[in-house]
Amino acid sequence: MAGEHPTIYDVAARAGVSIGTVSKALNASGKVSDQTRRRVLDAVQTLGFVPKEAAQARARRGSGRIGVFAPFSTYPSFGERLSGVLAALPPRRLDVAVFDVQSAADSGRVLETLPALRSLDGVIVMSVPVGRKAAAALRQGGLPAVFVDVPDSGFPSVTVDDQMGGRLAAGALLAAGKRRLAFLGQRQALGSLDSPSRRRLDGFAAALEAAGRRLPDTSIVLTGRSFAEAVATAEALLDRGDPPDGVFAHTDELAAAVHLAARRRGLAAPGDVAIIGFDDSTLAEALELTTIRQPLRESGQWALRTLVAMMDDPAAAAPSLTLPVELVRRRSA
């Protein structure tokens, strides 16, 4: 029988595991099976266990604490979204914890444990879809959550019109007289994932088809996360026997890779190859890249304000919102 203040030993005994396994489960370690993690979390919730570190931090803090989950080290644009979150912080004290996650699997394990740990009062999840187990844990634990760039999440969410961005890019390249068009995107672990890259490609391809120009599968090129690999992929694309004269890239970083690959080959932009990126980052401005501007800071601000309203009143969840994008013309297209 657990005492008034259950310990990690009580949790281990109830779940039928070692205290080391409890620790791994609560720290979202990938070394614990989903079945074992579920037993541990069920024991935590039944006993009302709160880890000592979380209890001490909450006692010292005396304020609300939210977590922001995003692939920060993969996509620099999320720094702008985080700036929007911080700019919208209310006058009252509210701590922000930042979690750099790389995949839906990583974020799913962490989010599934959060309600049981009670270390956060709300979460903002950016561009990382969450599976059914993590979503159920958030709902059952009553942890307010807002999603950014994750449509149909079942939670209040703000997205940008990625398909509109693809259509704008296609229209701009066609209007410039470009005919051999290509799309440069980033590979993702789950090929079926409804990602921003997939939605941008869908809009791009649909606009070309509406104009009577089909985008061949061979003109859809995917690359890895590093800039060096993106440059190598862009070089291979431009070295083809019939290279594209217009490229729409999933991000400004990928557009910069195309720009560098073209320059190394003595190709001029937009004369030889027109290049369009996505985000309207400082990189796009520095390289004078034509790009699709998405409201990064605005989406972060909306997410924070919506989350704070939910933390104050769980019934105050706002309806989901889709923000428009716009074409920003510079020298590359």
Cβ-contact 259, 289 below 8 angstroms: yes
| CA angle in degrees (0–180, nearest 5) for 252-258-329 | 50
Note every long-range contact of 237-242, with CB atoms under 8 Å and residues 24 or more positions apart, other chains counting. Answer: 237/182, 237/184, 237/261, 238/262, 238/265, 238/267, 238/273, 239/265, 242/180
Confidence of residue 116 (pLDDT cuts 50, 70, 90): low
Q: Would you state the pLDDT for residue 3?
A: 47
Residue 186, strand partner residues? 223
Confidence of residue 120 (pLDDT cuts 50, 70, 90): confident
CATH of domain 1-49: 1.10.260.40
pLDDT tens across 300-316, in order? 999 999 999 998 887 77
Rounded mean pLDDT, 2-20: 71
pLDDT tens across 185-199, in order? 988 765 556 788 899
Rounded mean pLDDT, 220-241: 94
Indicate the CATH number of 57-159+298-322 among 3.40.50.2300, 1.10.390.10, 1.10.490.10, 3.40.50.300. Answer: 3.40.50.2300
Residue 165 pLDDT greater than 80, yes or no: yes
Q: Would you state the pLDDT for residue 193?
A: 63
Mean pLDDT: which of 83-87, 103-107, 141-145 is highest?
Answer: 83-87
Q: Would you state the pLDDT for residue 232?
A: 97
Confidence of residue 107 (pLDDT cuts 50, 70, 90): low
Grouping H, G, I as helix, E, B as strand and the rest as coil, residue 326 is strand
Tell me where in the chain the CATH 3.40.50.2300 domain(s) lie: 57-159+298-322, 162-294
Rounded mean pLDDT, 68-91: 86
Which residue in the block uniquely carries the two structure tokens 């990928």? Answer: 254
> The dihedral of CA 84, 87, 93, 96: what is its sign?
positive
Q: In angstroms, what CA-CA distances link 283 with 117, 269, 299, 320?
A: 39, 16, 20, 30
Q: Greater confidence, 244 or 225?
A: 244
Residue 59 pLDDT greater than 50, yes or no: no
Residue 252 pLDDT greater than 90, yes or no: yes
Q: Greater confidence, 290 or 134?
A: 290
Rounded mean pLDDT, 267-296: 95
Tell me where in the chain the CATH 1.10.260.40 domain(s) lie: 1-49
Q: Would you state the pLDDT for residue 106?
A: 59
Mean pLDDT: which of 27-31, 125-129, 152-156, 199-203 is highest?
Answer: 199-203
Residue 61 pLDDT greater than 60, yes or no: no
Single out the residue of 113, 112, 143 nearest to residue 23, CA to CA.
113
Q: Greater confidence, 154 or 293?
A: 293
What average pLDDT does the chain have?
84
Rounded mean pLDDT, 138-145: 82
Q: Using CA atoms, how far apart are residues 109 and 106, in angstroms rounded to an integer?
A: 6
Cβ-contact 211, 181 below 8 angstroms: no
Rounded mean pLDDT, 311-332: 88
Q: Greater confidence, 100 or 251?
A: 251
Residue 130 pLDDT greater than 50, yes or no: yes
Q: In angstroms, what CA-CA distances link 308 with 50, 67, 91, 312, 315?
A: 23, 12, 12, 6, 12
Confidence of residue 329 (pLDDT cuts 50, 70, 90): very high
Residue 180 pLDDT greater than 80, yes or no: yes
CATH of domain 162-294: 3.40.50.2300
In the chain, the amino acid numbered 139 is R
Cβ-contact 156, 304 below 8 angstroms: no
Within 10 angstroms of residue 82's Cβ, the number of other Cβ atoms is 21
**How many residues are given for the chain?**
333
Single out the residue of 169, 203, 331, 200 nearest to residue 259, CA to CA.
331
Residue 57 pLDDT greater than 70, yes or no: no
